[in-house]
Amino acid sequence: MKWKLINSGFNTGRYNMDFDVSLVEHASGDEAVLRFYRWKPYCISLGANQKTDILLLSKAAEDKIDVVTRPTGGRSILHAEELTYSVVYPLDELTSVRKIYNEINCALVGGLKIYDDALASIETEEEQPDFRNLYKQAKGEICFSALAKNEIKFDGKKLVGSAQRKYGNFVLQHGSILCGKFHRKIVDYLDLPESEKNEIKNEFDKNTIELESILSKDINYGRLINSLVQGFEEYFKIIFINSVTQKNEIIYSE
């Protein structure tokens, strides 16, 4: 199988979501795509089944925070100090959405360990939470309030949140690799009582961690992308030509 690599840099939330959907719509059965991107301005994304009335939209607009709905499921995220990835992968009788979810996360784990030896204990979660009960609680509106099975964690805390959607014979998976703490400010944009906001803040402290918090230093995003590309190459036994690209330039592997 050929692998395409795209590093599209900073773009708006609407552009980023439309780009991911376009990758699926133009996907080929003998090709997988790995894309890295970031967000400018910062953006709150909602899962496909969430409603915007959970947000204080006027405050988000005042603070120049975009709001967009993802094509995938999951809950709300404030995309800020993070590196976002997406993968489009063709499915067949040997590859299910569950299998590729696990494999993508394994490749990400490998890349994170390459980035810094201090991340050697990163692993994937083995248990699945009771989402039906979780979504009844205020904290259930937030993606990083709980670990799902096969999601990436460090010291028991969620580091990468991911979501999927199946489009015919293809799957789109994208996710946030947390680098800094700004994502926690999503609490400020929720239309909830202060008591429930404080509860969510406590959940962040207990259940979420970022690369900067682990490593106690700023993240080199270029080197992080290089490390993750190497993780994919090693796990999937593939080679990306000229691995990391310039903004919106597309490189194909043969």
Q: Which is nearest to 115 in space by CA: 37, 225, 217, 34? A: 225
On the question of pLDDT at 242 being above 90, the answer is: no
Q: In a 3-state reduction of DSSP, which class is residue 137?
A: coil
Least confident span in 43-57, 89-103, 106-120, 229-243 = 229-243
On the question of pLDDT at 93 being above 70, the answer is: yes
On the question of pLDDT at 142 being above 90, the answer is: no
Mean pLDDT, the chain, rounded, equals: 88
- State the pLDDT confidence band at 249, using cuts at 50, 70 and 90: very low
For residues 241 and 206, the model is more confident at: 206
Least confident span in 99-103, 133-137, 151-155, 233-237 = 133-137
pLDDT at position 130 is 43
pLDDT at position 128 is 60
On the question of pLDDT at 132 being above 70, the answer is: no
Dihedral, 188, 189, 190, 192 alpha carbons, nearest 10 = 50
Domains and CATH numbers, the chain: 2-252 (3.30.930.10)
- State the pLDDT confidence band at 218, using cuts at 50, 70 and 90: very high
CA distance 113 to 242: 21
On the question of pLDDT at 138 being above 60, the answer is: no
CA distance 5 to 253: 8
CA distance 111 to 106: 9
- Mean pLDDT of the 189-207 span: 90
Burial label for 118, CB within 10 Å (0-12, 13-18, 19+), is: middle
pLDDT at position 149 is 77
- Joined tokens for residue 33: 């795509």
On the question of pLDDT at 243 being above 90, the answer is: no
Least confident span in 28-32, 66-70, 120-124, 163-167 = 28-32
pTM: 0.89
On the question of pLDDT at 146 being above 50, the answer is: yes
Q: Which residues on adjacent β-strands are paired with residue 152?
A: 124, 160
- Joined tokens for residue 223: 């080197």
Cα distances (Å, whole numbers) of residue 106 to 18, 113, 183, 249: 26, 11, 24, 26
**Could you read off the pLDDT of 34-89 as tens digits, one per residue?**
999 999 999 999 999 899 999 999 999 999 999 999 999 888 999 999 999 999 99
Burial label for 221, CB within 10 Å (0-12, 13-18, 19+), is: middle
Cα distances (Å, whole numbers) of residue 171 to 91, 92, 234: 7, 11, 21
